[in-house]
Structure formats: C-alpha cells, structure tokens
Amino acid sequence: MKSRNIIIFLAVLVSVVVAILSLSDNIMSPYVSFDDAIKKQAYVQIIGQRDKSIPVSRENGSFSFVILSEDGDSMRITHAGQIPQNFDHADRIVILGKYDPAMGVFAADKVLVKCPSKYAKER
C-alpha cells in the first residue's frame, strides 16, 4: 500500500510541476545576441556595456539607456522601475526581458548590474 500511495503522490506532484511550468511564461532566460533578441521577440537575456555617451533618460516612472554588445551592436533599453545600485559603475549590464517591435526598444523586466570584482587586479 505504502509505496503505491507514495508513487501516486509523487506522480501527481510531478505532473503539477510540469503543468505549472508549461503554463507559465518567461520562466527561462537564454542568453542571446541583440539580433536574436530582435528576431525572436521572446523572453531572453542580453548582456552588454552601457553606452555612456548617451545619457539615461527618464519619463513616466521608467528609465531608458543604450547598451553596446561586444560586437558593437547597440540596443535601447527601457525599464519601468528603479535604476539599480552601482549602475553608473557597472562593468557590464545583464538585461532580462523582451524586444518590443512597436517601440523599437528592448523592454527590460530586470536589470542586473555586474560589478567589477574587487579581486580583479590580483594576478
């Protein structure tokens, strides 16, 4: 009796997990290039350096800035939320979200700042 009940319980639990995961959006965030982010228009993760020659602009509670990929592509990011700590000094910035073709910008769901390691200079 016992092991059969447990197996049934586990099976139900696993199927609930699978069901929830298959019904939820935006649960995975693969790293993609800027081109792929524009092409796919799916929830993705991009990384780049902020283009500091273009100032951060703000309107209606969201802020917007431009990042550059390693290949030199640029992408305008908007984020309805707060500028994270250490934003000005960020080494690279990781952005999770979706490309918005109507606005021509990448709508960020999260902006993660990667700071230079304090041990970076050590040999």
Partner 1 sequence: MPDIINGNTLIILALPVSLAGLFFAGRAALGKASAAGYSRQLYFATTALIVLSCALLMGLLLAGDYRNAYVYNNISSDLPTLYVVAAFWAGHQGSFLLWLLLINLVGIFIMYSKDDSENILMPVLLITQIFFLAILVADSPFKMVWDAYADVQPGFKPENGLGMNSLLVDPWMVSHPPVLFLGYASAIVPFGYAITALIRRDATILVERAYPWVLFSMICLGMGIFMGGYWAYKVLGWGGYWGWDPVENSSLIPWLVSIALVHGIVLQRKKGVLARSNIALSLVYFILVYYGTFLTRSGVLSDFSVHSFADYGLSPYLASFLCFYIIIAAVMFAVNGRKIESKNLSDSVFSWDALAGYGVLVLVGFAAVVLAGTSMPIISGLFMDKASAVTEHFYNNISVPFGMLMLVFMVGSTMSLTGMKLTGRTVIASAAVSLAAGVAFNLPHTVNPIPYFFTVLSLFVVIMCGYDLARLRTSTVLASRLTHMGMAILVIGIMASGYHSSSVTKTFVKDKEESVFSFFMTFRGMTGENKTALHFSLRDDGVVRDIYTPYYPDEKTNSWFRAPYVVHEFSRDVYISPEAFHSGIQEASSIVLAKDGKGKIGDLTVHFRGFRTENMTSAEPQIIADLAVNGKPVAPALKIVQGSRISIDKPVPGTDRAVSIADIDVGERKVMLSFTLGRNAVIPPDSAVAGISLKRFIWLVWLGTIVISAGCIAAFARVFRNSPA
| Residue of 99, 5, 95 lying closest to 45 (CA atoms) | 95
Rounded distance, CA 68 to CA 86, Å?
Answer: 18
Q: Which helix (H) or strand (E) element contains residue 92?
A: strand 92-100
> Side chain identity at 78, as an amino acid letter?
T
| Residue of 79, 83, 89 lying closest to 46 (CA atoms) | 79
Among 9, 11, 40, 57, binds partner 1 (CB under 8 A): 9
Among 87, 98, 105, 107, binds partner 1 (CB under 8 A): 87
Among 38, 42, 47, 107, binds partner 1 (CB under 8 A): 47
Q: Which of residues 56-75 bind partner 1 (CB under 8 A)?
A: 56, 58, 61-63
By CB under 8 A, name the binding residues for partner 1. 1-3, 5-6, 9-10, 13, 16-17, 20-21, 24-32, 43, 45, 47, 53, 56, 58, 61-63, 81-89, 94, 96, 109-110, 112-123
